[in-house]
Amino acid sequence: MERDAVLFSNEAFYRAFADRDFTAMDGLWSRRHPVACIHPGWSPIAGRDQVMASWRGILSNPQSPAVICRRPQAYMQGDSAFVICFEEVDGSFLIATNYFTRETGGWKMTHHQAGPVPAPEGDDETVTSPIH
């Protein structure tokens, strides 16, 4: 199911983040469509080279915090999709949207935006499945 494939790519994004795996991260981002990225508190970054340079810096920085994806929910619209999820960072939370496009080789990222959010309510273990 395409929704599962989108959520798989979203998981792969957070796995690459957790593993500090720049090669995996680089492979997840689209080369066919224009990409952008809004890291929390940063100005927006436009263009693949600039976006990947930002990830190279983040993933090579030992001070970068661990990020755990919570409650991903996928929203499908044909050959594009976005996933909204909480990001748990050192016990506090961000909210992120990750945007994907369907390409040969799977769903590739074209945009990531994360920003502050109140802590989610309820039990994380019981609310992890997509609702749409």
For binding to its own copies (CB under 8 A), which residues are involved? Answer: 30, 33-36, 38, 40-44, 46, 73, 75-80, 82, 84, 95, 97, 99, 101, 110-111, 113-118, 120-121, 131-132
Measured CA distances, 8 to 20, 51, 89, 100 (Å): 18, 21, 21, 11
Nearer to its own copies, 30 or 54 (CB): 30
At closest approach, how far in Å is the CB of 39 from its own copies?
10
Instruction: Please calculate the CA angle 98-100-102 and round it to the nearest 5 degrees.
Output: 165
At closest approach, how far in Å is the CB of 25 from its own copies?
19
